[in-house]
Structure 1
Amino acid sequence: MFANNLKYLREKQNMDQMELAIKLGRKSSSSISEWEKGKYTPKIGVLNDIAEIFGVSITDLMNKDLSANVDNRNKVISMYDSLHEERQMKVYSYTKQQYNDQNKIIQMPEPTPEAEYEEFELFGAVSAGTGKYLTDNKPEKVMYKGIVPEHDFAVIVSGNSMLPLFEDKQILFVKKTDEIRSGQIVVVDYDHQAYVKKFVRDEKSCRLVSLNKEYKDMPIDEEHDIHIYGTVVL
């Protein structure tokens, strides 16, 4: 998703690869080309710079098809322009109602018998599949329906390698720690990409394990850089 979004945003602003490279403090456009081809993803600091240049959030840059939103918007505008004035007013009234309803949910959530909405800061995505990223600045404030447990930071799952325990787009709350035990679910930086995995240590090896058996284990050894962010609050 990142590769397509980067190319879309760059072309939308009539910016060539070299111009973007200069804005990012690079002497050549080779990295931009490789990013747009999907060969690899830049580190979090560069992702943050790219998000700022194009005025988008890192979460949207990495996980949302930004071009699809514009295509849908253009289609709606085109259809609206072709309507008679009376029908345009009906569309406007309906759109305004939807906008107000949305803002009521986000800004002034009504308590329910089951749970209330709480606001917390979301620090990006962790992969339950291929690697993602984790930002250490500019978290997004989001609303969560349910009980927010005691935690140090929160992330959103991307992928299905941790099914059936965690689903794609599920919010995870994490407690920071440098000490982990075998069997715990952890959020880690593995070769500069962020993951949520099960940590396993036994007589065979130390490794990060996916609950979905379609995914291979990730060995923890001297050939890989690893940093523990914390354990998931279950």
Structure 2
Amino acid sequence: MYLSITIKMVVGLVTLLAVTRLLGKKELSQVTPFDFLYAVVLGGIVEETIYDNKVTPLQVAYSAVLWGGLIYIIEILAKKKNFFRSILKGSESIIVKDGKLNVGEMQKNHLEMEQLRTMLRQRGIFSMNEVKYAYLETNGGLSVMKYRKEDPVTPEMMGMDTEDIDPSILLIDEGEVVESGLKMVGKDGEWLKDSIKKAGYNDIKDIFCAEWSEKEGFYIVTYKK
């Protein structure tokens, strides 16, 4: 009995991981209702069969593989055919167009005004007068385009010359050298040790994290003693 439960749980775990990979690298906020449904149903299949002695591990594997295969087919169809994509994934709704609120789309999506105002405030917008376009995405998120006059002033608008800065690279993480980071910057361990000493730190183990960029140099945080 215990062997059967173990095998079923392993099969379920492997299948859940496979389905997660099929859905792609999405943030939780990017998962559509259908994506969520896929995972919930698969989890239900595995859960219902783990402690059922009448269900064999082979049957669990078959059910999980069948469900995963169906998900894969649906994902392929959704990517290749707009017709399937609109049915399975849905399409965005234009809530605000050229500054005008679309009441029909609000009602269609069961979206209350206070809910919309809350979503706008979370994006730093506290007045509908600032909004030129607003799209309710398929994942429930809100994409907003403000009027240009409401945009923050940038150096480009002021005619200032600015120089782009590359992202910093993590070289030390919790007292350990990040080898992949050193490879990215084309440096080695000796360079890192010498650079740390020049910055006033003798032991890498004392450093909680250290970032480095070509333009800005090191950003170092040590453990508090």
Quickly name the TM-score band, shorter chain normalised.
under 0.3
In the superposition, the TM-score normalised over structure 1's length comes to 0.26
Q: From the two aligned structures, give the one with the greater strand fraction.
A: 1
Q: From the two aligned structures, give the one with the greater helix fraction.
A: 2
* Higher Rg: 2
